[in-house]
Structure 1
Amino acid sequence: MLKNHSWFYRLVTTYLPIVYLLVFVLFFVFFMTINKQSQAQTVSANEAFTQFSMLQLNSILGNIDQNVNAATVNNKEFNQYMFQLHDLDANPYLLRSKVADLFRQVQAGFPFVKSIYFYRNIDMTVLGTEMYLPLAEFGDREFVQEQLKQPLPNIWTNIRTYKVLPSQSIDVQVVSLVKKIPLQTEPKGILIVNIDVSSLASWLQDISSNSISSVTLVDQAGQLIGQSTVKANKDILNLKFEETGWTFKSGIKESYHYGIFSELYYSWIIIGVVMVLIASAVIIYLSKRYARPIDASMSRITDYLNRRQPGGELNLVVDAAVDKIIDFADRYQSESNLNLPYRQKFYFQELLTGDRPISQDELIEEMHNFGFSCHWHSFNTAKLEIDKMSDFTENYSTRDQVLLKFVLSNVFKETAEQYGIGIWSEWISADEMSILFGADGELSMANISTICESMRVWVESNLAFTVTIGVGEKTERSEDISGSYEQAVKAVQYRSALGNNRVIHYEVITRQTETELFDILQLIRSIVQLYKSGNDEWYGQFDFLFKAINRGLHTRDELKNLLYYMTFTFTRELSEFPSEYTELWRVEALNPISQAIDRFETMEDLKNIVLERLRTVFELWKQLRQSKTQRLLIHDLKAYIDTNYANSELSLQLLAEQFSVSKNYVSSLFKEEMGENFIDYLTALRIFHSKRLLEDTDTSIQDIAGLVGYEHYFSFNRAFKKLTGFPPSEFRKKHGT
């Protein structure tokens, strides 16, 4: 006979003791860990608040810095004051008043700003919101003199004292933003923005008043900038503010307690006992309720088996249940296999981007799960991009694109296997494939290079498109794979400068020097001046510019910044032209060139578009100028100036006498047709010819000054430095043959 204990009896005697034991263990663990959890949550909240405070301060200081830049760099009055560009008969007091008003406008927008002043190198004077003084009479003189010795162009200082006059008895504590300007050329002075430390302290107290955290802010020297009203028991977090070097120290306020759990300890015990009793009652009730149909079914099965096979077991029932479980497991495995490619791609991206550290053992185990039989101990990465993706999508249907990408993956794999190198590749976007190389032993960079070059040649020879491949450096640690892939991504970015259809190795990329970049910016300004004056020599300078850019290696973003600087310089210099000229520039050149900069793939493509647009506007301007009734006169005027620029007595009065017109008429006609006044044009022409003499001859600088129309060397030296950014002697050293 089969033993027939009721299922109610079995359920109650099996699970009730387990429930009791489990409940008591959970209560024990609960009271041991709940306080720690509360502390951890509090510490986490403190860290989040501290980071929020640091980000908010970063936003405040960054906004001050950006607004100061925006208000000064492109401001006409400020640049006139900084470079002393105002006419001799202009009122310098009015100019200083406008600059001071500009500083006050910036100060009004930021309550933290105590004062703003600018020290000008050329005459050693200080102009601020509240004074205009010689440096020798300025209360902050020592600080200015100290900053003049510093090499950094943009810094935040520690706490210091500030006063306008040395005789003042009250010192104000401030932290200062120091900016040497202009940034692109030799500094002409220092712009200093003073932030009131008491305002920062008040701000810190306000934002922490309703928080559990107590925050203290100190500068690099450890001096207190501000702190919360309620102090902390102890500092539990220090965060350094990278932009300023200041440090946020935070902890939990002394008046805060870690939750109510410790205070309600005995209440929780009572609640726990009550819950155990309730759980016992519920288990007994449910066991009895749900065991009733089971007992009835098992009683029928037992009676049946006793009649059919007395003394038998319940194996048939168990076997049937196991068969159903196996069938369910098979279906689950089938669904899991369908999801495998998605899990594999996600893990691959996690590995390359370094979202989390992946150890060697974990990597090998996961690769085995994905079907890779390998024990790689040396790695390298590459990134393949399809060139001219717009043509690729236009020439192939979606189905063909998928097929071609599958072919590329297989060819890459077969090529690598010929050299005994394993490969794992995934298409991470429509035109980008990421590749991980691996080997059980030493990974040869020569083989990697050969594999990538073979792949490039195969695509070029067999398909109607090309690819560019960037290769990172090899690594022995799986944790460093993300760094190698970052190098591969950066290498591909250089295809804008180097061109499509090539293999680019990160390790052979050399960067352009700062001096070469400065020469490129100077060349851009020279092209703009020639273009602006209607001189055809800008064509040669334009071609030389792109040759200079191609000599250096630039990422796509760097190239875009250079070209945006060129369009900005053109737009700024041409803004003084009549409206019909500027409208032609905007419609025919500026808009198409800006679109091309955003979409270009190679520098050669971009050069052709920019040149074509500039040539179009240049020719339209020629037609526009020739349609003017004064074209003959301005042509004769320009020819006379170009021939007689070396005459030191050449002036508007001389031109008026020579062509029998009034001096004012010559001046206005020249401004309208040439887009600049007579003096600026004559100066640029003389400096242009002097640069050729400096480059191609060994004539002394004093003699060159006379040859181009300057009676005094000092006038020539000042004009040359103003236009080029450095004196004639330095120009000859850099560019002389």
Structure 2
Amino acid sequence: MNWYYRMMLSYTPIFFFVISSVIFLFFSTLNHSSEKKYLETNQAIVEQTMQNVDANLQLIERNVVREMQTDKTLQAFFNEKPKSLYDYFVIQKKLVEISSSLPFVNSIYIYSDHTGKVLSEAGMVKLEAFKDKPFFDSHQSRSAAIGWTSPREYSQSILDDSTRKVVSLVKTYPFASDQQGAVVVNLNVSSIIDFMNHFNGYGGTIQLLDWEKKPFESTLPSAKEGGIYASSPYTGWQFYADSEHANEFSTLSLFSNMWFIIVFIIIILALVWFTFITHVSYKPIQTIMGKIDGYAARKSQELGIKLPRNEFKFIETAIDHLLKKSIDYEHLHKEDLLLRQRNLLQELLVGRSMLTDQEWKNQASALGLPHSYEWLGVIALEIDHFAAFTDKYKASDQNLLKFLIESAFRELMQQKEFQIQHVWTEPQRMAFVVLLQQSSESIQDRLVQVCEEFRKWMNEHLELTVSCGIGNFVHSIHNIAAAYHSAAENVSYKAVFGTNSVIDNRLRYTKQTGETLLCFQSILELSRSCRMDDGQWEIKLSRIFLKLKGMLISRADIEAFIHNLIRQLEKDMEALPSDIETIWSSEYRSRFRQIAQHAETIDELEIQLTAVLTELAGDRDKKRLNGKNHTIALQTKEYIDQHYTDPSLSLVQVSEKFGLSARSVSHLFKEELGENFIDYLLKVRFAHAKNMLLETDEPIQWIAEQVGYTHVISFHRAFKKLFNLPPGEYRTIYRLNE
């Protein structure tokens, strides 16, 4: 039995060494596998980033070419037909709309061979005075072959010395063989870089290199050998990421290989010792135990921790460490899978990627997403008053509330037996893709009912609201972007239907479509009333909003409306005395801009505009009442309003009435009311003339006499100069329109 116990003691250290070597071998293999997976994952991320950038650039190119070939407004810029300033304003507005629809920060300008002029967001200039002329001349004739350029410095205005780094695309119109002009799209390099690194999932920074492998951002170091590259077949650009962490894996791999050699040698010695102990004695067991103690001491020193001397405890610790590594790897794999699912939905919904039904089935199956459907629908949920939401809550609370909204709606849809997939497409907007096995009016009603239930739940449990937009049903994943666009467009109409609402196509069609541009003349009149202090601005503002409430208007339309009003008020306030213009510049301009940022509905806009215009009018009146000049100007205005029918009414007559020189009266009228004496007299006379033309059947001779003209020819000439129509034609045309 003594010999038996000696053998048992001999097997114990041998067993320990064998298990230890297996553990070290496993770690070595796991290290090599992790290194390979690390490089493959980062290569996939870089290639995915390249595909996302290429998809956006191709989308920009297709959209610009399509707009140039289909939009009549833009095509009018290139023809020889004379155009007014308003025509150029409409074309410029169309350029701004195209620019705002593109995914990157950009600027667009177009050039016409017929006029030799360049039109951009900054205005219209001759090509010779355009600061980007050298680039345009060098690329116009070969634009079809060049594609997107390398980074370059770009400044749009000769009055602005600041430049920004852009990449450009030049397209001739309509085609090179019959060129009538060209369009140039400039994308901010910083916007592209921000897009690349916002969703790449990579620990480091992905650099964008040109054809010569030079970084787009000059502040970044040059690309190193051995890094991760992906070459774009569309632009020829290189996407680069360093592999510093891969070098760390290589160092660990070398360390593991060294230990593998050491362990292998120990195993050989152990086998030799086992044979010797078996035939001779048990005493070498003490030597083996000494080896274990020495190894434990060295390992403790390397790791900076004290390892237990118990052999079984040592093996238990090693296995626990192995399990922890495996769990971490599995968690990383799940996170990567979730990111890929969201990226796929994001690209499909915004139109950056288009799949056939079979491709969708394959990719969805690989990512673990449900994919069976007969019809597809999209619901867009948007947080109301998002600017106030971000001001009220810190970032962590915002994310928590978003997760709560997302989870609650998902659970409600699942309770109603709807198959869904979801993704946040914008900071304030989430899209739910609903997979339907049938499409009918009852399905539409059920979706509206679910959204109404969720809206009520939000009102009861959270201190915020959401608006829901239900889009069109589509039969193929290929058209899912159109369904999302319909849902997003419907939810944007909360501007007219109100926040905390559910909007589908049936509700949308209860309003007539309209353009806020129709209110442009009303904005001019409102601003002029504020400038002239005629007491009519509240009535005109009410009429504007009465018209807007009958239109189908989005949040973007509200913002465009208020910005148009700001620009017109800016012009009119500049014509008033300096103290009033100072009040506008220092206080009210910023308040109007805040309204543009925060007002989400027509009702909110009306309340806020009425309040701020009332305060502006009050401050203006206080300033004016402090001076005698304003009183004289108002008396002059009142005299004109009462005696405009007098043919002899003139500046001299009015100046004699108030005991001042004609020059003084003219100066006071212009300074206090922002309009020339004669211009205001003509405006009053012809306003009455227009009303009489449209509301009575009196002869034009009689109407001319009623507004202060003794000779009908003079009246006829002045009327045509102001309205581009003779009085008789004006009466005929506008009566028919009514």
1:730, CA displacement in angstroms?
Answer: 4.0
User: What's the secondary structure of 1:615's corresponding residue?
Assistant: helix
Provide the C-alpha distance between the structure 2 equivalents of 1:393 and 1:204, rounded to a whole number of angstroms. 45
Contact 1:383 / 1:433 at 8 angstroms: preserved in 2?
yes
One of 105, 121, 138 as aligned partner of 1:203: 138
Provide the C-alpha distance between the structure 2 equivalents of 1:356 and 1:692, rounded to a whole number of angstroms. 57
1:666 maps to 665
Provide the C-alpha distance between the structure 2 equivalents of 1:676 and 1:425, rounded to a whole number of angstroms. 57
Task: Give the partner amino acid of 1:492.
Answer: V
**What's the Cα RMSD here?**
5.4
CA separation of 1:547 and 1:658: change in aligned 2, threshold 3 A = same
Contact 1:495 / 1:602 at 8 angstroms: preserved in 2?
yes
Task: Give the partner amino acid of 1:147.
Answer: K
User: What's the secondary structure of 2:628's corresponding residue?
Assistant: coil
Deviations 1:164-205 (A, max 9, x none): xxxxxxxxxx93237899x9xxxxxx9997999x99998369
Provide the C-alpha distance between the structure 1 equivalents of 2:140 and 2:343, rounded to a whole number of angstroms. 45
CA separation of 1:721 and 1:485: change in aligned 2, threshold 3 A = farther
CA separation of 1:348 and 1:725: change in aligned 2, threshold 3 A = farther
Provide the C-alpha distance between the structure 2 equivalents of 1:201 and 1:655, rounded to a whole number of angstroms. 58
Q: How does 1:235-254 map to 2 (within 5 A)?
A: none
2:114 maps to 176
1:632, CA displacement in angstroms?
Answer: 4.8
Provide the C-alpha distance between the structure 1 equivalents of 2:147 and 2:83, rounded to a whole number of angstroms. 44
1:423 maps to 420
Provide the C-alpha distance between the structure 2 equivalents of 1:199 and 1:394, rounded to a whole number of angstroms. 46
Q: How does 1:676-687 map to 2 (within 5 A)?
A: 676-687=675-686
One of 147, 167, 172 as aligned partner of 2:81: 147
CA separation of 1:241 and 1:548: change in aligned 2, threshold 3 A = same
Task: Give the partner amino acid of 2:624.
Answer: R
Contact 2:379 / 2:471 at 8 angstroms: preserved in 1?
yes
Does residue 429 of structure 2 align to residue 432 of structure 1? yes
Does residue 376 of structure 2 align to residue 376 of structure 1? no
User: What's the secondary structure of 2:456's corresponding residue?
Assistant: helix
Q: How does 1:584-603 map to 2 (within 5 A)?
A: 584-603=583-602
Contact 2:378 / 2:433 at 8 angstroms: preserved in 1?
yes
Provide the C-alpha distance between the structure 2 equivalents of 1:529 and 1:428, rounded to a whole number of angstroms. 42
Provide the C-alpha distance between the structure 2 equivalents of 1:404 and 1:420, rounded to a whole number of angstroms. 24
1:535, CA displacement in angstroms?
Answer: 0.1
Provide the C-alpha distance between the structure 2 equivalents of 1:630 and 1:405, rounded to a whole number of angstroms. 58
Provide the C-alpha distance between the structure 1 equivalents of 2:129 and 2:357, rounded to a whole number of angstroms. 51
Contact 1:413 / 1:422 at 8 angstroms: preserved in 2?
no
CA separation of 1:360 and 1:557: change in aligned 2, threshold 3 A = same
1:466, CA displacement in angstroms?
Answer: 1.7
Say which is worse superposed, 503-512 or 678-687, in terms of deviation: 503-512
CA separation of 1:527 and 1:298: change in aligned 2, threshold 3 A = same
Provide the C-alpha distance between the structure 2 equivalents of 1:568 and 1:150, rounded to a whole number of angstroms. 20
Provide the C-alpha distance between the structure 2 equivalents of 1:205 and 1:605, rounded to a whole number of angstroms. 48
Provide the C-alpha distance between the structure 2 equivalents of 1:199 and 1:334, rounded to a whole number of angstroms. 54
1:682, CA displacement in angstroms?
Answer: 0.9
Q: How does 1:298-317 map to 2 (within 5 A)?
A: none
CA separation of 1:705 and 1:466: change in aligned 2, threshold 3 A = farther
User: What's the secondary structure of 1:465's corresponding residue?
Assistant: coil
Say which is worse superposed, 709-718 or 670-679, in terms of deviation: 709-718
Does residue 390 of structure 2 align to residue 452 of structure 1? no
Provide the C-alpha distance between the structure 2 equivalents of 1:353 and 1:566, rounded to a whole number of angstroms. 32
Provide the C-alpha distance between the structure 2 equivalents of 1:219 and 1:583, rounded to a whole number of angstroms. 46
Q: How does 1:616-635 map to 2 (within 5 A)?
A: 616-635=615-634
1:386 maps to 383
1:346 maps to 343
CA separation of 1:733 and 1:304: change in aligned 2, threshold 3 A = farther
Contact 1:201 / 1:225 at 8 angstroms: preserved in 2?
no
Q: How does 1:709-728 map to 2 (within 5 A)?
A: 709-713=708-712, 715-716=714-715, 719-720=718-719
User: What's the secondary structure of 1:469's corresponding residue?
Assistant: strand
Relative to the length of structure 1, the TM-score reads 0.56
CA separation of 1:357 and 1:243: change in aligned 2, threshold 3 A = same
1:648, CA displacement in angstroms?
Answer: 1.7
User: What's the secondary structure of 1:470's corresponding residue?
Assistant: strand
CA separation of 1:574 and 1:368: change in aligned 2, threshold 3 A = same
Provide the C-alpha distance between the structure 2 equivalents of 1:707 and 1:375, rounded to a whole number of angstroms. 77
Task: Give the partner amino acid of 1:537.
Answer: Q
Say which is worse superposed, 578-587 or 335-344, in terms of deviation: 335-344
Q: How does 1:125-524 map to 2 (within 5 A)?
A: 147-148=81-82, 175-177=113-115, 203=138, 220=174, 223=177, 332-333=329-330, 335-337=332-334, 339-364=336-361, 367=364, 375-392=372-389, 404-417=401-414, 420-428=417-425, 431-442=428-439, 444-505=443-504, 509=508, 517=516, 519-524=518-523
1:436, CA displacement in angstroms?
Answer: 0.8
Q: How does 1:5-16 map to 2 (within 5 A)?
A: none
Deviations 1:663-684 (A, max 9, x none): 2232223223322221011112
CA separation of 1:478 and 1:304: change in aligned 2, threshold 3 A = farther
Contact 1:360 / 1:477 at 8 angstroms: preserved in 2?
yes
Contact 2:575 / 2:671 at 8 angstroms: preserved in 1?
no
2:216 maps to none
User: What's the secondary structure of 1:688's corresponding residue?
Assistant: helix
Contact 2:376 / 2:473 at 8 angstroms: preserved in 1?
yes
Task: Give the partner amino acid of 1:529.
Answer: R
1:467, CA displacement in angstroms?
Answer: 1.0
1:540, CA displacement in angstroms?
Answer: 0.2
**Paired residue total:** 506
1:379, CA displacement in angstroms?
Answer: 0.8
Contact 2:527 / 2:569 at 8 angstroms: preserved in 1?
yes
Provide the C-alpha distance between the structure 1 equivalents of 2:359 and 2:486, rounded to a whole number of angstroms. 24
1:644, CA displacement in angstroms?
Answer: 0.8
CA separation of 1:434 and 1:707: change in aligned 2, threshold 3 A = same
Provide the C-alpha distance between the structure 2 equivalents of 1:152 and 1:519, rounded to a whole number of angstroms. 13
CA separation of 1:551 and 1:711: change in aligned 2, threshold 3 A = farther
Deviations 1:504-546 (A, max 9, x none): 33576469778x6554111111122222221001210111112
Task: Give the partner amino acid of 2:560.
Answer: N
1:732, CA displacement in angstroms?
Answer: 7.0
CA separation of 1:374 and 1:621: change in aligned 2, threshold 3 A = closer
User: What's the secondary structure of 2:113's corresponding residue?
Assistant: strand
2:692 maps to 693
Provide the C-alpha distance between the structure 2 equivalents of 1:730 and 1:628, rounded to a whole number of angstroms. 42
CA separation of 1:721 and 1:419: change in aligned 2, threshold 3 A = farther
1:160 maps to none
Deviations 1:17-48 (A, max 9, x none): xxxxxxxxxxxxxxxxxxxxxxxxxxxxxxx9
Task: Give the partner amino acid of 2:423.
Answer: E
Provide the C-alpha distance between the structure 2 equivalents of 1:294 and 1:730, rounded to a whole number of angstroms. 105
Contact 2:645 / 2:707 at 8 angstroms: preserved in 1?
yes
Task: Give the partner amino acid of 1:176.
Answer: H
Contact 2:385 / 2:598 at 8 angstroms: preserved in 1?
no
1:295, CA displacement in angstroms?
Answer: 10
1:597, CA displacement in angstroms?
Answer: 1.4
User: What's the secondary structure of 1:424's corresponding residue?
Assistant: strand
Provide the C-alpha distance between the structure 2 equivalents of 1:576 and 1:469, rounded to a whole number of angstroms. 45
User: What's the secondary structure of 1:381's corresponding residue?
Assistant: strand
User: What's the secondary structure of 2:675's corresponding residue?
Assistant: coil
Task: Give the partner amino acid of 1:579.
Answer: S
CA separation of 1:436 and 1:639: change in aligned 2, threshold 3 A = same
Provide the C-alpha distance between the structure 1 equivalents of 2:147 and 2:450, rounded to a whole number of angstroms. 59
Contact 1:577 / 1:675 at 8 angstroms: preserved in 2?
yes
CA separation of 1:218 and 1:461: change in aligned 2, threshold 3 A = closer
Contact 2:508 / 2:552 at 8 angstroms: preserved in 1?
yes
1:494, CA displacement in angstroms?
Answer: 2.6
